[in-house]
Structure 1
Amino acid sequence: MLMLQRVSKARVAGPVGALLRWSSTVRLTAESYPQVKRLDFGQITPQTVDFFKSVVGESAVVTDQDDLLFYNEDQMRKYRGQSSLCVKPKTTQQVSEIVKYCHEHKLALVPQGGNTGLVGGSVPVFDEIVLSLSGMNKIRSFDHTSGILKADAGLILENADNFLAENGYIFPLDLGAKGSCHIGGNVAANAGGLRLLRYGSLHGSVLGLEVVLPDGTIYDSMNALRKDNTGYDLKQLFIGSEGTLGVITGVSILCPARPKAVNIAFLGLESYEAVQNTFKRARSELCEVLSAFEFMDRQSQWQAKRFLKTSHPLAQDDPDVDVPEYPFYVLIETSGSCKEHDDAKLETFLESIMEDGTVADGVVSQDESQLKTLWTWREGISEASNMDGGVYKYDVSLPLPVMYDLIEVLRARLDEHGLRSISDASKPVVDVVGYGHIGDGNVHVNVIVREYNKTVEKCLEPYVYQWISDHHGSISAEHGLGFQKKNYIGYSKSEVEIALMKDIKSKFDPQGIMNPYKYL
């Protein structure tokens, strides 16, 4: 049994301590969105397949239709392409030869990492060639003094972090999909993750990249220094470009020292105002040891409870309660170099916010096992949201005071249209759940549905994007634009910005072969 240290209004006693299923039943993207037409690209021929086999070897060319399902279908089971060919190179030179051939024959291709994207950006729309980086998964070098890691783009994030852990460092990014996502894909999508509050964005951590450009040219800035003031910082163009400007094949990234002490507090709160006040005080009172501040609404915890099938952290004293009635929950993580110092700071902070009623209830972890267990109640929400059939995900940024308003507005809108009911199976929408990163203004809105439904989609879009624009937010905080949001970029970017991006795209990729139908 999980024996967490209970937080009380009295003094805090003691030390503070799925396999995815790929199925041909997913409807083709081309059928779901008939307004999107195939562009004038070349066709794959037997000669194309033979050439790629000569470059990467026969075993690294996938043509079997059943095997291709994984590469054609996205994690959300919402988009499915029609690619008949996946190529899995092992070296940057092989990638260069593949891309050069595609450039010469005007063959469209989709660079693909772990295929964990949530906006349809990592799978084909029509018959584009899938260029999988899964075979490029080596650590190239690591400097134990500076903390600079150089690795292939196909290295799985969790493997990178495990290697760094053995050397006393930590990868400056943490995601729920860390067991399958690739670091190259993380960079291509400019993933934010759970600890951006502590370590910042990839725009600051990535020191250099190796990228194969759309004509096969290799751009290499892997030996970049932390300080280099000569010319344009070209690598920044590829961070967040989602494979539309080139194929990232290598990453040089600055990694911080790994914390020696980590603590988790899991709290129940009575209002969103209390969530904001707790965050404000955590930044002030926990300061340098604060590494994550996550919030979750009760609906998200109820969904996670159904998925995890175990006792909620704040309901262990009453087995008859599924999820306590607190409207909001907060997970606070601290990490530092001195356990005694960090324990004392967290203990003092918790005493203060409990005594004045800012927080209603809470527990703190006592060991590493409990740390991981508490994180599952936050990280498990995304996967739990898929269990009823499907989910429309909106990963957005908003000013902190209005961040949760979006969830409440969408619930009301779906109710007005007669689409939402958690208990009525005749209604397509199960519920709307909200959770995210208070520290960087990123809220994840999950509209849980029994099946993907055009009526629901029309009710949500573009309404949700217009609301975000009206409140000075961004329609994508960390998952990118992909296929899902490409038509809505105008809600976050001006005409001047969009024109500049299109100019950059046309300069790098005049034939438009890199990840077409996405982004712009």
Structure 2
Amino acid sequence: MSYFVLRLDSRKLHSAVRLLPLREPRWGQIPFLSSNRFMSQEKVPPLTAERYRVSRLPFSEVSVEDIRHFQKIIPGRVITDESDLKAHNIDWLRTVRGHSKVLLKPRTTEEVSKILKHCNERGLAVTPQGGNTGLVGGSVPVFDEILISTALMDQVISFDDVSGALVCQAGCVLDSLNQYLAELGYTMPLDLGAKGSCHIGGNLATNAGGLRLLRYGSLRGTVLGLEAVLPDGSILDCLNSLRKDNTGYDLKQLFIGSEGTLGIITALSIMCPRKPSAVNVALLGCENFSKVLQVFTLCRDQLGEILSACEFMDSESMRIVQTHLKLINPLPDNAFYVLVETSGSCGKHDEEKLNIFLEKAMDSGFVTSGTVATDQGKIMSLWGLRERITEALALDGYVYKYDLSMPVEKLYALVEETRVRLGSSAQCVVGYGHLGDGNLHLNVTAKSHSDALLSALEPFVYEWTSKHNGSISAEHGLGFKKRDHIYYSKSAGAVHIMQQLKHMLDPKGIMNPYKTIPSTD
């Protein structure tokens, strides 16, 4: 295995890059988050209500008359077969399971409106579902809630190639939108490991963060408008494409991150940036986390406006993807890894800046080894080491996942303390995440679910995060699993206002019950 020497001029650096011994990816053959092959080894989890001892709220049960009514609204798109419903009742991690008896697949906002109007009148609870790639149990029923899928709401409505404003239905798959935009010279401001399966409406509903947040910001800033159907069936039309609109309350922000508890997002308008013409990715090895932080600081100073991502992974993360996915690590024997991406409009300019950064990183002793990729195949190979960690973890056993944000200098201390606390009771403790926005993904694997291990992790992880002024959910949302832990990040007064908003818009509580906002009872 050979690596480039960081003290190289641009011409020599390019030469070294071409010699990188990276295996070409087989992305079309390995669909992330879409095959049972990659799901947790616990094939069929216990019912959520039994594992977590949840009591069913007094909602109505679906009747034969309800099914007939739905068939009139969306003929041929009412799913009641138990085998067809199985995958929709279980989350991707296979840690929670409901027992919904009906799945509805509308194609239009008007159909969603009619469905919710009937459900509200009848007191039938519903769970909106996009690509079902969530990691906190928010997209599957807890009991027998009616599932409303956005899978058939997958049309691009319009695109303005001057402003870059894309208007589309909520069921569009993120990667499909990216491919559509790429042909027009644009790109989505959001990138996720689950991009081949997740729906853009679900991304908004959970306020997904992802790999491009450092460059393009959060969805709260890039979403221009949206359309949503409220629990009583009324349609909220805030679907404009203006960059500036300072008239009254910004209602779309209520639905971004609401996780389907206030209504169903059916369409959206989002600002899309131009696709960068020059992209470079560097994978760097560091001997400790202190060096990782020094690399990040140098990244911001030297790369500035062309820095589009800065991710870190520990050696356990790398071991997991090598063991379960057979990916090639071009830089073995490092305690930590930093993945840096630059994107811009001038390849020569970007290359020169990256070269200066690499030279300083090596001269300062921050980096022990490194490799660079500029062509798409090798870039995807390097990104695969980071993007597919979640997939590899699911193959390692039952996964306890924690998505946290905190001051960047504290990120890895929690991982180290968790390892010491759990000792041999955990199979693997992994830490990786987004340096650019202080987002840590702490993952613990075990052979199977264990109440004792869960008790050792919670509330320890949440208390530690709160003590260090962090958030218990940086980008995955609260869903079912974290709902009652919201007080570690929000005051009682703030939660009370959320409960009031929920009751005002959904007085019968039919929208995604048992999720996100604690009950007022």
| Shorter-chain TM-score tier | over 0.9
Q: Of the candidates 43, 47, 50, which is equivalent to residue 31 of structure 1?
A: 50
Quick one: structure 1 residues 364 and 198, their matched pair in 2 at CA, closer, same or farther if it must change by over 3 Å? same
Q: Of the candidates 430, 433, 454, which is equivalent to residue 430 of structure 2?
A: 433
Offset from partner CA, 1:156-188 (integer Å, 9 cap, x none): 000001001000111000000000000000000
Offset from partner CA, 1:94-135 (integer Å, 9 cap, x none): 000000000000000000000000000000000000000001
Residue of structure 1 in register with 2:419 after alignment: 411
Pairing of 1:178-197 with structure 2 (within 5 A): 178-197=195-214
SS at the partner of 1:14? helix
Q: Of the candidates 142, 149, 166, which is equivalent to residue 149 of structure 1?
A: 166
**Contact residue 432 and residue 442 of structure 2 kept, 8 A:** yes
Pairing of 1:144-223 with structure 2 (within 5 A): 144-223=161-240
**Contact residue 259 and residue 479 of structure 2 kept, 8 A:** yes
**Contact residue 89 and residue 135 of structure 1 kept, 8 A:** yes
Deviation, 1:10, is: 5.5
Deviation, 1:55, is: 0.7
Q: Of the candidates 51, 65, 87, which is equivalent to residue 47 of structure 1?
A: 65
**Contact residue 74 and residue 120 of structure 1 kept, 8 A:** yes
Query: Sequence identity of aligned pairs in percent?
Result: 53
Pairing of 1:58-457 with structure 2 (within 5 A): 58=76, 60-314=77-331, 324-415=332-423, 418-419=424-425, 429-457=426-454
Aligned partner of 2:4: which letter?
R
In the aligned structure 1, how far is the partner of 2:5 from the partner of 2:110?
56
Deviation, 1:224, is: 4.3
Deviation, 1:307, is: 2.0
Corresponding residue pairs, total: 496
Residue of structure 2 in register with 1:425 after alignment: none
| TM-score (ref. length: structure 1) | 0.93
Q: RMSD of the TM alignment (CA)?
A: 1.4
Residue of structure 1 in register with 2:35 after alignment: 20
In the aligned structure 2, how far is the partner of 1:281 from the partner of 1:25?
47
Residue of structure 1 in register with 2:469 after alignment: 472
Quick one: structure 1 residues 503 and 7, their matched pair in 2 at CA, closer, same or farther if it must change by over 3 Å? farther
Deviation, 1:392, is: 0.7
In the aligned structure 2, how far is the partner of 1:225 from the partner of 1:5?
48
In the aligned structure 2, how far is the partner of 1:96 from the partner of 1:352?
58
In the aligned structure 1, how far is the partner of 2:6 from the partner of 2:436?
25
Aligned partner of 2:296: which letter?
F
Offset from partner CA, 1:432-482 (integer Å, 9 cap, x none): 000000000001001011111111111111111011000100000000000
In the aligned structure 2, how far is the partner of 1:14 from the partner of 1:516?
55
Deviation, 1:311, is: 2.6
**Contact residue 11 and residue 351 of structure 1 kept, 8 A:** no
Q: Which has the higher mean CA deviation after the structures are superposed, 95-104 or 444-453?
A: 444-453
**Contact residue 4 and residue 13 of structure 2 kept, 8 A:** no
Residue of structure 2 in register with 1:484 after alignment: 481
Offset from partner CA, 1:18-72 (integer Å, 9 cap, x none): 44328972211111012x10001011001111111111112x1111111101110
Aligned partner of 1:172: which letter?
P
Q: Which has the higher mean CA deviation after the structures are superposed, 37-46 or 215-224?
A: 215-224
SS at the partner of 1:439? helix
Offset from partner CA, 1:189-219 (integer Å, 9 cap, x none): 0000001000000000000000000100000
Aligned partner of 1:490: which letter?
Y
Quick one: structure 1 residues 374 and 7, their matched pair in 2 at CA, closer, same or farther if it must change by over 3 Å? farther
In the aligned structure 1, how far is the partner of 2:246 from the partner of 2:3?
50
In the aligned structure 2, how far is the partner of 1:264 from the partner of 1:224?
33
**Contact residue 241 and residue 270 of structure 2 kept, 8 A:** no
Aligned partner of 1:20: which letter?
S
SS at the partner of 1:39? coil
Deviation, 1:9, is: 4.7
